[in-house]
Amino acid sequence: MNSSTTKKALVVRFDREVLQGFINPGTFAQTQGIELMSRDGAVTVVPYRQIKAVCFVKDWDGASVMDERREFLGRPKNAGLWIQVRYRDGDTLEGTLTNDLLAVDSTGLTFVPPEANGNTQRVFSPREALSSVAVLGVVGSPLRRRKPAAQAEQIQLFNDE
């Protein structure tokens, strides 16, 4: 952990313990697990099999994504893939994932949770923690842009006299 661009994070483990610390978003995913620097400065590597979710948060004292709203109330506003992840323990969580396959990491998924004004800004879930990922929809796809109606296609209701 040698960079100055660290973010506050809560690491939610399957045993319901929540670890607080700093994570470098560019290099946190190591081969053995997640590199976490605790609030007192000790650097540890948490194995992927123990991690349910890594929550990049505004404040450590706030709620993690597991304590906030877990599904969207309607269709999400963020462009990308609207997904639902199911964890090994049966919990589910919805979010929006970028619609860029080059951004998909081999160690896990990073997505935006449904609570826009909540404490959690982004969530990373390791692949080992997930039992399934379902795409619920594509939001903001450039493939289905509506064409404006042409004047010739409009019907005339009244005669112009």
pLDDT at 2 over 70: no
Confidence of residue 61 (pLDDT cuts 50, 70, 90): confident
Position 161 scores a pLDDT of 59
Instruction: Provide the pairing of β-strand 43-47 with 33-38.
Output: antiparallel
Confidence of residue 148 (pLDDT cuts 50, 70, 90): low
Please tell me whether the overall predicted TM-score, pTM, comes out greater than 0.85 for this model.
no
pLDDT at 145 over 80: no
Q: Please list, in sequence order, all residues whose beta carbon lies within 8 angstroms of the beta carbon of residue 96, skipping any fewer than 6 positions away.
A: 76, 78, 79, 80, 81, 82, 83, 111, 112, 139
Position 31 scores a pLDDT of 83
Per the structure, how many domains does the chain have?
Answer: 1
Q: What is the mean pLDDT of residues 74-90?
A: 90
Element (H, E) at 93: strand 92-97
Structural domain range at position 37: 7-60+69-139
Q: What is the mean pLDDT of residues 45-52?
A: 93
Confidence of residue 78 (pLDDT cuts 50, 70, 90): confident
Asked if residue 152 is part of any domain, the answer here is no
Asked if residue 17 is part of any domain, the answer here is yes
Interatomic CA distance for residues 48 and 36, integer angstroms: 12
Counting Cβ atoms within 10 Å, is residue 149 exposed (0-12), middle (13-18) or buried (19+)? exposed
